[in-house]
Amino acid sequence: MFLERLLALATGAIVALCLGLGLVMMALGPGRKIAEPAHIAEPTHIAETREAPLAEAASEPAPEPADPRPSARAPRLAARERIEQAIAATEEYRSFFQRMRQAFPTDYAAAIETFAQERSVGADTASVDFYLAESVRRLRQSRGVLAARAEPLVLARVFDLQLDVLRAISAENKKLCAAFLYGGVDQDFHSFAARRRALVAEMAVVGLEAIASGQAKQLERSAPSEEDFRALEKALAARGLRKPEIDSLLDGKTPDPPFDDKKTCALGQTYLEALRALPEPIRLRIYGLAVELMARS
C-alpha cells in the first residue's frame, strides 16, 4: 500500500493541482494569443508610462549570442525589445520577470532569446500570458527540484496558492475546476487565467521564490513514510470523507461510477486543506516529495 501511494503521489491528479500544472499546460496549449495588450505596439507610450526599474530592465536586453550575420542579429534584437516592452507594460507580470532576471539571469536570458527567435522568423505573436507560462515551465524543468529544499514557509506558500487558485476556479465553474485537478486545460482555463492575471502571477512568483530559497538554503528532507500517509488518511476521514473518496485521492483509484465535477472539485480542496493542517514535519515531507516528482516528470 505504501508504494502504491508513493506512485499515486507521483502520477495522480492532485499532484497536477498542487504544482500548478495548469499554468505549465497553458504554455503548451492553444492559449498563446490571449489578451495581448493593445498598446504594446506603441513603444513611445510604453516608455513614458512604465515604472523606472522595469524600464531600465527592458532597455537592457539579455546578452545577445554571437552571430556573424548582422542581418540575423537585427530582427532578434528588435523582437527582444518588443517582448521586454510587452512584459514591462503588463503590470501583473512585472515582478515575476524582474525577480527571474535577478535570481536566474541565464534562465531569463534564454527564455527571452527563445521568444525573440520565434518572433524574428515570423512565428505567431504570442501573448504575455504565454511568456509567463512558458518561463515558469522552463524554470521548473531546469531548476524545479530545488524547491523541495526551500524554507518551510516558502515551500508551504506554494501549496497555499494552489488552494487559492482552486477555490477561485471553483467559484466560477465546477467543470473547469475538475478539469484543472486532472491537468486538463482548455480555452476556458486560458480565459480564466487572462481574467485573473494577478492570481496567476502570484502563483508563478511563489514558485520562483521556492526555487530560489531551495538553491540558497539546500535544506534536506526525508521522503514521507507510511506513517505520514496514515496520518493524512486519518485527517481526510476526520473531514467526513469516505473510503472510496480517500482511495481516489491517496491510491489513485477511479470510482465506478466516477465522481461528478462538483464532488471532484470539493475533494481537491479538502485534500489540500487536510494536508495543510497536518503537523509541519509530515506536511513538509509530502510537499517536498511532490515538488521533486513533478519537476522530474
Q: Is residue 130 part of a domain?
A: no
207-236: pLDDT as tens digits: 999 999 999 999 999 988 989 989 999 999
Q: Which three cell numbers stand for residue 208?
A: 520562483
CB 193 within 8 A of CB 26: yes
230-282: pLDDT as tens digits: 999 999 999 999 999 988 888 777 788 989 999 989 998 999 999 999 999 99
CB 264 within 8 A of CB 253: no
Domain count of the chain? 1
Q: Which three cell numbers stand for residue 226?
A: 507510511
Which residue range forms the structural domain that includes residue 18? 1-23+145-199+223-297
Q: Is residue 263 part of a domain?
A: yes
Q: Is residue 254 part of a domain?
A: yes
> Average pLDDT over the chain, rounded to whole?
78
CA 154 to chain centre: 15
Computed from CA positions of residues 64, 70, 72, 77, in that sequence, does the dihedral angle turn out positive or negative? positive
Round to whole Å and give the CA distance between 33 and 17: 24
Residue 62 above 70 pLDDT?
no
pLDDT (0 to 100) of residue 53: 43
Q: Is residue 76 part of a domain?
A: no
Q: Is residue 55 part of a domain?
A: no
Q: Is residue 51 part of a domain?
A: no
pTM above 0.85, yes or no: no
Q: 285 versus 10: which is more confidently predicted? A: 285
Q: Is residue 97 part of a domain?
A: no
147-195: pLDDT as tens digits: 999 999 999 999 998 888 889 989 988 988 887 777 665 667 777 878 8
Residue 104 above 50 pLDDT?
yes
Angle between helices 128-143 and 197-217 (to 10 degrees): 20
Q: Is residue 285 part of a domain?
A: yes
Residue 41 above 50 pLDDT?
no
